[in-house]
Amino acid sequence: MTIHNATKIHMIGIKGVGMTALAEVLHGWGKDVRGSDIAEVFMTDAVLARRSIPVTTFSPSNVMAADLVIYSTAYGETNPEFAEAGKRGIPMLSYPEALGQLMEGKYGIAVAGSHGKTTTTALLGHVMAEAGLDPTVIVGSVTLNWNANARVGKSEYVIIEADEYQNKFQYYNPKGLLITNIDWDHPDFFPTPDSYQKCFDDFRAQVNKNGGWVIEMQNAECRMQNDLPLSLSGEHNKKNVMLAYATAKKLGIADDVFWSAVQSFKGTARRFEVKGEWNGVTVIDDYAHHPTEIKATLKAARERYPGKKIWTVFHPHTFSRTAALLNDFAGAFSDTDHVIVLDIYGSAREAHGGVHARDLVTLVSERSRRAIAIYIPTIPEAADYLRSHAHAGDVIITMGAGDVWKLWDCLENF
């Protein structure tokens, strides 16, 4: 059973950004798609609701009518639905296996890299759509032009954001591969920088072996002919545009079409997304959860808001990453004035670890000449603190891969 011939598909862990995007595509194909997840509200809940895709909490009975089960790699044999599907002999695919099937027989393009792949994937998809190539696109965030995590096209082109975690690359056989950059991450799966590098090396070799093409950031050339739209502030986004430009040239897209599309690109959710103003304070949300990303985002913020007081509310993501990169995190906040560090968000991967948010606060306080760092455990408590200390004209940036984006709701709905 494949995603192509299945008619009733149940998705375990459907609220994950990649799973939501895949659900949108399968729903767009006319499949009967439904899914399950934990009760916590995620940013993808609204996307699934707009598509009228039913979502319930986990229960063995959910899989009984399915002829195919697709599961997030965050869940396995201990999940009651996973176990029930196995007991009943219902065909199952992991998310990366299903994504690999999505590209079979298509002109697949995978966008990989440690940083920038979400923006690059969404931008390239938007450019190709504006050029009339009508691609299907899977993005790891809501693309604001589409108000969705995915675009369902009718052409042979399929573009996916390819996540390296757990070596999902092994399931993909694209025609084209874009690599934004390689910067050690996910130490819970890749114990050393070399093991992380090898994952990308193997993917590159696999694409080349199969007669595909590879474009990497260091080989991409593009003269910035236009100012970038506000949604793409920062030097890091100039590099994303350069990579998209090199790909557009590979696909025969004219320069005027490309630059027009760049200007109309609205960006993606949680990538320097301006949420609005609260009591005269500008609130921005960003997914940055790695030291390199934090530096780039705060540098862009300092350039856009010179002279403003910048507050950063940082939600460390996973204990293993925080511990492995603790010293790098400590040096990443030089372009902010205040850092509020929340309790570490372990997600579904980790329940605990040998590091605490206070450890990061201590190091930032010791090493930063500008940033004043404090520890506040929860998002509501951080919102209370900011109500008393942030003033009109200030900038607040919520930052991290967890649910720190909910701070905007706490401020707006107070």
- The pLDDT tens digits for 148-164 are 999 999 999 999 999 99
Q: Are residues 139 and 218 in the same domain?
A: yes
Q: Are residues 109 and 256 in the same domain?
A: yes
What is the structure's pLDDT at 337?
A: 96
Give me the number of domains the chain comprises: 3
Q: Are residues 148 and 283 in the same domain?
A: no
| Domain end among 77, 95, 113 | 95
What is the structure's pLDDT at 346?
A: 81
Q: Are residues 354 and 379 in the same domain?
A: yes
Q: Which of 93, 24, 92, 87 is nearest to 55 (CA)?
A: 24
Residue-wise pLDDT tens digits, 369-391: 888 999 999 999 999 999 999 99
What is the structure's pLDDT at 59?
A: 96
Structure-token match 């490309």, residue found: 258
Residues 173, 101: Cα–Cα separation, whole Å? 9
Q: Are residues 138 and 259 in the same domain?
A: yes
What is the structure's pLDDT at 413?
A: 76
On whether residue 19 sits in a domain, the answer given is yes
On whether residue 100 sits in a domain, the answer given is no
On whether residue 399 sits in a domain, the answer given is yes
178, β-bridge pairs: 111, 215
Report whether 108 contacts 175 (CB < 8 A). Answer: yes
What is the structure's pLDDT at 350?
A: 65
Counting as low any pLDDT under 50, the low residues of the chain are none
Report whether 10 contacts 66 (CB < 8 A). Answer: yes
Residue 305 contacts by C-beta under 8 Å, 6 or more apart in sequence? 282, 395
Q: Are residues 110 and 257 in the same domain?
A: yes
Q: Are residues 203 and 279 in the same domain?
A: no
Residue 194 contacts by C-beta under 8 Å, 6 or more apart in sequence? none
| Domain end among 63, 95, 127 | 95
What is the structure's pLDDT at 412?
A: 79
Q: Are residues 405 and 283 in the same domain?
A: yes
Q: Are residues 113 and 48 in the same domain?
A: no
Its pTM stands at 0.86
Query: Helices 235-250 and 291-304 sit at what angle, rounded to 10 degrees?
Result: 100
Q: Are residues 24 and 74 in the same domain?
A: yes
On whether residue 3 sits in a domain, the answer given is no
What is the structure's pLDDT at 349?
A: 66
User: Which residue range(s) make up the domain with 199?
Assistant: 105-264
Q: Are residues 254 and 200 in the same domain?
A: yes
On whether residue 1 sits in a domain, the answer given is no
Residues 311, 360: Cα–Cα separation, whole Å? 16
CATH of the domain at 310: 3.90.190.20
Report whether 9 contacts 65 (CB < 8 A). Answer: no
On whether residue 180 sits in a domain, the answer given is yes
Q: Are residues 85 and 183 in the same domain?
A: no
| Domain end among 64, 95, 126 | 95
Q: Which of 35, 32, 40 is nearest to 55 (CA)?
A: 35
On whether residue 407 sits in a domain, the answer given is yes
CATH of the domain at 242: 3.40.1190.10
